[in-house]
Structures are given as structure tokens and as C-alpha cells.
Amino acid sequence: MLSLKKYLTEGLLQFTILLSLIGVRVDVDTYLTSQLPPLREIILGPSSAYTQTQFHNLRNTLDGYGIHPKSIDLDNYFTARRLLNQVRALDRFQVPTTEVNAWLVHRDPEGSVSGSQPSSGLALESSSGLQDVTGPDNGVRESETEQGFSEDLEDLGAVAPPVSGDLTKEDIDLIDILWRQDIDLGAGREIFDYSHRQKEQDVDKELRDGAEQEDTWPGEGAEALARNLLVDGETGESFPAQVPGGEDQTALSLEECLRLLEATCPFGENAEFPADISSITEAVPSESEPPGLQNNLLSPLLTGTESPFDLEQQWQDLMSIMEMQAMEVNTSTSEVLYNAPPGDPLSTNYSLAPNTPINQNVSLHQASLGGCSQDFSLFSPEVESLPVASSSTLLPLVPSNSTSLNSTFGSTNLAGLFFPPQLNGTANDTAGPELPDPLGGLLDEAMLDEISLMDLAIEEGFNPVQASQLEEEFDSDSGLSLDSSHSPSSLSSSEGAVGYSSDSETLDLEEAEGAVGYQPEYSKFCRMSYQDPSQLSCLPYLEHVGHNHTYNMAPSALDSADLPPPSTLKKGSKEKQADFLDKQMSRDEHRARAMKIPFTNDKIINLPVEEFNELLSKYQLSEAQLSLIRDIRRRGKNKMAAQNCRKRKLDTILNLERDVEDLQRDKARLLREKVEFLRSLRQMKQKVQSLYQEVFGRLRDENGRPYSPSQYALQYAGDGSVLLIPRTLADQQARRQERKPKDRRK
């Protein structure tokens, strides 16, 4: 059954591929959003499409990372995955996004340091590596975008190669320390809203752990202690014991990102992405930037120094530009997937591909063949031995000068008709209407084909010019790995092993109760962040901070938890904190506490069944307690399973999305090739027509007068011979030949 479903799913995919290739728009989202129950059944069916058995094989993934779903290492893990995705996305021409992220991350710690006042143009003391990237004067660095999303971006794993190249771990730590110092000084605390909330949760978590579970996770306590030691040792400052936890986690995450990027990114050691910067520069026209400005990438933002208009708008513009660039490079993908309006001004203003007619951009060098070596059998010996028709309507071809005719066509051959040696437009495009045109039908057909092709391309959102550019970019030596097998297939193969395991052997790494195992939306967030900087606030790392689904938590408590004023913190007694923690607890935790369950929910949920039973046997538990414990275990496991399931579902959708992108890319390439072939064919036909004209013009009747093109026409016979026949007969035969292919099509 499973294999059957898998077969159906794969078949469906192949069908989708075929549909895509033949020009039928394939909108995966439509199929996945339940409009079509049978398809949905097949795709989202209970055990087919989303069943990925390797998901349990977490330990084999990501360089041997063994991450428990509830482990705090999952942050690193997802950061690394985001990074990997970004790196992999390089072959999908989304490098500019990576570039921008890199820039922001560079500025992140320092921008945060002085960024206490939003939208102020404070000057920053910039460190060495950062200056190179951002340019000498860019007050925009302190834009609220940067401030507001700095931590988010850092967490995104958007680590720049320049950083990795220039900054050591000590540098990063120093930046982190400086940043923290300013946070302690009260600078721009509100800027780090999410981080702040993260810290709050860390506080709560640690407090709770300390109060209830001190003996349960010694590893975590030691870890927290180590983090504190690290901070204190380097800053010389005494931090609140709870605060550095989350930040160090962030710092570690950044470090991990650096390491990973260095290991994976082909330009990990380079300071810039020349091709991408230039491409972005091209994509951003008419921004009043000095011509000598090195970092054109930032031009839309850099102009903010001279005009204090909405920086966020600029940011969005930049994002839009990059998105449009990615859209154009990815041909119609974006139109299908992102529903970009066709008349989007950005797409026209910042279009990479000039809206030139297709013929001007099609490279013909592939269609050019060398000179023809064989004689043109059509006119060589056969010409002289043309059978003289006895019929009066079939006049013999009487060349006025057979030798000259031979010399004229001797250098040509039949192959030359179809593979012209020169395709530089020497063919006579202006065949006079008075001339017989046995090729007219074919030419018209070719033109129609091309026109229909163009229509198709337009309909499908495929611009062959863009496809051509895409292909050129593919061929270009940009240093990007463009192996298409890199993206979806290998991605899924590697991601297939991504851990959805609830392997309880990793219990040591577990966080306190309520730790969020996965961030199912990580990819989505990464993608969303390209579109709208405000989405950056929804970073997976911080998501669980803003999202509190503790049902019994009063809104007022939530409010106070989100942004507690300093006074509250000072006044906050242990009672209030306990109350807050109490409200933070899940329902099952409350129940467990009410039932006086002698061990943590975490153990209940994650212990292997043997250890779990062993644990139960150690205590004298009532039936109600046992029942609750089993319920807690069931719910906890199911909760993780649901998270896995959603994550898998999202991954599947994203992989399908990427598959469709790749298929559309292939389709664009094939379309481009088709256009090239059509153009080549048309030029060959033009060549034949010019030769026809030349031959016909040299023909003379018995009286030495040229034949009238309106009355006579040359006809190529199947055996290579050429006959001069009356025009009416030629037209009839031409019509007959026209019908044949049409009939064949039917």
C-alpha cells in the first residue's frame, strides 16, 4: 500500500513535470490547499508524500549533529540549516539576498551598540572588516531596519563571508560583548524586543529549572554557568546570571554559522560577491549614487544619508528589487509562486533583462555551421540532365549559361540550405512579392510557430530573453555552483535525514519543559524575510518567544511578560515571578504539579519506555497519577509528532516548490533553445529563398527573356532536381504540402 501510494505520488510529480513541460501552468499550492480532494489525498495522504523514513536518522545529518528535538542545540541546527539553505540557494540566483544579509550582519553588533535611537544617523565606530563592506559613509547603517532586525538577521544565519574572513571568534565575542554592554547601559533596549523576550524566557526557564529541577539537568546548569563565566571573563562585567544565556546562545549560533559558512560557501574566504554586486547594481538603476562608489549594492539605502525619507521603504525597495531580480532570473517562477503582479513597476524599472525583441537577443552562434564541402547536388550534374518534360505546361529549364549556373551554385550544397554557413543576416529578407515563393508557407509557419511560442512564453510568464539571460548566467563563470541537481533532489536527500526524531538518548541535552523542538516555518521565514523586513521579526529562533500558547495564561500576564518596564523588574518580587512562571506552565505541568507527580514532564515524555517504566516503578503512584503520567507522555509525544508532521509537510511543499522552479527553469531553457532553432531555421529558409531568387533570375526562355515570377516557379523535386513549372501548379503543390504537416498534427 505504501509503495502504491508512493508510486502514485511520484507519478503525480512526474505528471506535474510533464504538465509543466508542455506548458500547462502547474500551481502546486492549488493542489496542496485542498481544492482537489483526490490530489490532496494523494499528496498529503496519511502515509505517502510526507512519509520520509529517513527523518529518524537525525544523527546522520549535518556533519554528525545529533540533536534532540527539544535540545537547545536545535537553534544551532536550524541556523545551520538556514545557512545551508542560503548557500544552496546560491545556485538559484538568490545570492543578492545573501549579500544584503551579510551587510546587515556586519553592522549588527555595532549598529546595535549605538542604535539606541531609531532613525537617527549616529556615526559608528566601525571595525576594520566592516568598513570595507559597507563603505565609508553610510549613516543608514543605523536605520531602524538594522536596529530592529539586527539580532534577527544574525539569527537568520546570515553571516557574511567577509566576516568569516576577517573576524575571528574573539572579534565576534568582542562585538557581542560591546553589544551587551550597551544593552546593560540601557541603550536601545526596546530595540531588542524579541531578544529581550528571549532573555525573559531564559530567565524564567532557568528560574524554573533552579527551583524545580535542579537535580534534573545538571548539564544545563553547568552550561549556564559556563556561559556566565565566559561573559564575565571577557567583559569584566558582572551580568545578571540569567541574561547571558540567550545571548551566548546567539553568539554561539553566529559562530557556528561562520564555521558552517566557511565550510560550505564557495566564497567563504572572499570578501565579496563581485558578480552579485554588479548584478544588483544593474538591477538598481537611477539611484543617485556617486559613480565611484564601490558598494553599489547599498545604493538604495545609502542614499538615505542625504534624504531622510522612510528607510524602511527603502529597505523594502531593495528587497523588492532583489526579489524581482530573483524572479527574473528564475523566469516565471516568481510569477507563479509569489503572485507578483505582471505590471509590477519594479519589474520594469529594475528589470535585468531589457525588453528587447527576442530575435535581437538570441545567440545564433550555435546554429552556425562551417562551410559546405559537398557540392550542391540540386544544381550540379542533375541540373544539366534535367528531364525535359514533354508536356507543354512543364517547360524544360534552359539556363542561359549552364556553366555560370554551375559556378554560382557549385560552392553551395544541399546541406547549405539547411545549415547556412553564415547567419549574419546576409540573406535577402525582402523577397519581392512578385517572386515565386515556394518557401513562403514554410516561412510563415516558422513565423507562426515563433509567434505562438512567444505567446506561450508570455502566457506562461516565460520570457525567452530572460531565459536566454538565465542561460548565459548559467554559463557564466560566476563561481556559483549551478548544478541543478544540487537544489531539490540533493536537498531533499540531505533533508530527508533531517531529524524529526524524538530519540530519547539525547535527553541530556534537553531543555526545560516547554522547549520548542522544531521551527517548522524556518524556511518560510527565511523566504519571507526576502520580501518584507518586517517578517524578520518572526524569526524561528525567536518565534517561540513571541508565541506563547499557554492557554491558561492571562493576557495581562502576557503583556507584562513581553515588555516589562524597568520599574516592574525592580519591583518584581519573587512572588510575582513565581506567579509568572506559574502562568507560563503548560496545562499538563499544572496537572502534574497538582497531582504531585514526583518527576518532570520532560522525563515523562522523553524517557525511553524501559526507563520510563522503571521510573514509574520506583514510586508508589496512584492510579490517577499513573493515568495522568501516561496522558502527559502521550500528549507530549504527540505534540512532537505533530511538530514533525508539520515540519515535514512544509518541507515537502517547499521541495515541490523548488522542483517546480527547477522545472520551469528547464522549460525556459528549452524554450530558449527552441527559439534559437526557429530563428536558425528561418534564416536558412531565407538563404534558400535568396538562392532561389538568384537562380530564377538567371533563367531565360528560348528567346533569352527572363521568366516571369508570376507565371513560373521553381520546384524542388525529391530527387534533388529542380523544375520550372507554371505558377498555378506550384501553388497547388505548395498548398498540398502545407496540408500534410497540419494533418499530421491532427
Binding site for DNA (CB under 7 A): 1-2, 34, 44-47, 49-51, 55-56, 500-502, 516, 519-521, 524, 543-544, 546-551, 553, 555, 558, 562, 586-588, 608-609, 612, 631, 633-646, 648-649
Residue with cell 545604493: 299
Using the minimum distance from each CB to DNA, give the nearer residue, 173 or 589: 589
Under 8 Å CB-to-CB from 194, ≥6 apart: which residues?
A: 151, 152, 537, 539, 542, 545, 546
Distance CA 246, CA 224 (A): 10
307, 522, 535, 573, 633 from 529: Cα distances, Å? 25, 10, 5, 39, 36
Using the minimum distance from each CB to DNA, give the nearer residue, 39 or 415: 39
4, 58, 176 from 139: Cα distances, Å? 61, 45, 21
Least distance (Å) between residue 51 CB and DNA: 4
Least distance (Å) between residue 474 CB and DNA: 33
Using the minimum distance from each CB to DNA, give the nearer residue, 161 or 636: 636
- C-beta neighbour count of 598 within 10 angstroms: 14
Least distance (Å) between residue 223 CB and DNA: 23
Least distance (Å) between residue 246 CB and DNA: 17
DSSP state of 510: B
Alpha-carbon torsion, ordered 115, 262, 88, 108, to 10 deg: 0
Least distance (Å) between residue 71 CB and DNA: 15
Least distance (Å) between residue 187 CB and DNA: 24
Say if residues 343 and 336 touch (Cβ distance below 8 Å): no
Distance CA 179, CA 246 (A): 13
The bridge status of strand 722-726 relative to strand 712-716 is antiparallel
3-state class (DSSP) for residue 725: strand
Q: In the 3-class helix/strand/coil scheme, how is 36-90 assigned residue by residue?
A: CHHHHHHHCCCCCCCCCHHHHCHHHCCCCCCCCCCECHHHHHHHHHHHHHHHHHH
3-state class (DSSP) for residue 712: strand
Least distance (Å) between residue 210 CB and DNA: 22
Using the minimum distance from each CB to DNA, give the nearer residue, 415 or 616: 616
At residue 187, what are phi and psi to the nearest 5 degrees?
-80, 115
Using the minimum distance from each CB to DNA, give the nearer residue, 594 or 609: 609
- Packed helices 169-184 and 243-264: angle between N→C axes, nearest 10 degrees: 150
Least distance (Å) between residue 533 CB and DNA: 15
Using the minimum distance from each CB to DNA, give the nearer residue, 162 or 520: 520
Residue type, 405: L
Using the minimum distance from each CB to DNA, give the nearer residue, 544 or 700: 544
> Which residues are 706's β-sheet partners?
700
- Half-sphere CA count of 651, side-chain side, radius 13 A: 29
Using the minimum distance from each CB to DNA, give the nearer residue, 325 or 523: 523
Least distance (Å) between residue 57 CB and DNA: 11
Least distance (Å) between residue 501 CB and DNA: 7
Using the minimum distance from each CB to DNA, give the nearer residue, 53 or 703: 53
Distance CA 336, CA 285 (A): 26
Among candidate residues 369, 383, 320, 374, the one with its CA nearest the CA of residue 347: 320
Using the minimum distance from each CB to DNA, give the nearer residue, 69 or 416: 69
- Half-sphere CA count of 40, side-chain side, radius 13 A: 9
- C-beta neighbour count of 128 within 10 angstroms: 9
Distance CA 650, CA 28 (A): 13
Using the minimum distance from each CB to DNA, give the nearer residue, 181 or 537: 537
Least distance (Å) between residue 507 CB and DNA: 13
Under 8 Å CB-to-CB from 356, ≥6 apart: which residues?
A: 465
Using the minimum distance from each CB to DNA, give the nearer residue, 468 or 586: 586
Using the minimum distance from each CB to DNA, give the nearer residue, 376 or 500: 500
Say if residues 77 and 58 touch (Cβ distance below 8 Å): no
Using the minimum distance from each CB to DNA, give the nearer residue, 69 or 96: 69
247, 340, 536, 652 from 541: Cα distances, Å? 12, 29, 11, 21
Least distance (Å) between residue 498 CB and DNA: 11
